[in-house]
């Protein structure tokens, strides 16, 4: 088994640090990737990160993960609430994954309360800020050890 995790960030997460800082904070995508990578390295694992605003790119990355990853951490952004294709990709590769949301989506607009991923996720981390990414990585490294 590989000791690698795929970190997937979906649409608009490239704007972290400047997009709605009252909701998402001031940490950047580079900060998020560093936080997740540091958590993986603490456990002796590697981490590969991908961010895209394009659904197909995210699906291709998920498909590739089955070749060399033991799990996935994903913040699918708005695709969480709309993408059956990303759900099918995650289900199809049969890797454990943790769904992460920086904000508490349950305290926001009604449409954000629905996730196409949560019911098949190994764990869901909501509203913990960017620290939730490290928690997600730790969950996967502990459960896969």
What pLDDT sits at residue 111?
Answer: 62
**102 annotated among ligand-binding-site residues:** yes
The answer to whether residue 116 is catalytic is no
Q: Which residue among the candidates 79, 91, 101, 139 is catalytic per the annotation?
A: 101
- What CATH number does residue 13 fall under? 3.40.50.9100
Q: What share of the chain is helix, strand, coil (3-state, %, to 5)?
A: 50, 20, 30
**38 annotated among ligand-binding-site residues:** no
The answer to whether residue 24 is catalytic is yes
**75 annotated among ligand-binding-site residues:** yes
Cα 95 to Cα 2, 42, 110, 128, distances in angstroms: 11, 21, 29, 23
Q: Which residue among the candidates 24, 79, 116, 133 is catalytic per the annotation?
A: 24
With contact defined as beta carbons under 8 Å apart, do 45 and 2 qualify?
Answer: no
| Predicted confidence pLDDT, tens digits, the chain (145 residues) | 689 999 999 999 999 999 877 778 789 999 999 999 999 999 999 999 999 999 999 999 999 999 999 999 999 999 999 999 999 999 999 999 999 999 877 766 676 667 999 999 999 999 999 999 999 999 999 987 5
User: CA quadruple 98, 72, 8, 121: dihedral positive or negative?
Assistant: negative
Q: Is the pTM of this model over 0.85?
A: yes
Supply the range of the domain harboring residue 34. 4-143
Beta-carbon contacts of residue 73 (< 8 Å; ≥ 6 apart): 5, 6, 7, 8, 36, 97, 98, 100, 133, 136, 137, 140
How many domains does the structure of the chain reveal? 1
CA distance 111 to 16: 21
**60 annotated among ligand-binding-site residues:** no
């Amino acid at each position: 088994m590989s000791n690698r995790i795929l970190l997937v960030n979906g649409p608009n997460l490239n704007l972290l640090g400047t997009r709605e800082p009252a909701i998402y904070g001031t940490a950047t995508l580079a900060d998020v990737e560093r936080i997740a990578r540091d958590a993986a390295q603490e456990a002796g694992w590697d981490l590969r990160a991908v961010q895209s605003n394009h659904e197909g790119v995210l699906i291709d990355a998920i498909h590739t993960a089955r070749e060399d990853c033991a799990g996935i951490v994903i913040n699918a952004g708005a695709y969480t609430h709309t993408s059956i294709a990303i759900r099918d990709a995650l289900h199809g590769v049969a890797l454990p994954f943790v769904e992460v949301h920086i904000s508490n989506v349950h305290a926001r607009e009604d449409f954000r309360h629905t996730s196409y991923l949560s019911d098949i996720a190994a764990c869901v981390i909501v509203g913990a800020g960017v620290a939730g990414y490290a928690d997600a990585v730790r969950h996967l490294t502990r459960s896969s050890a």
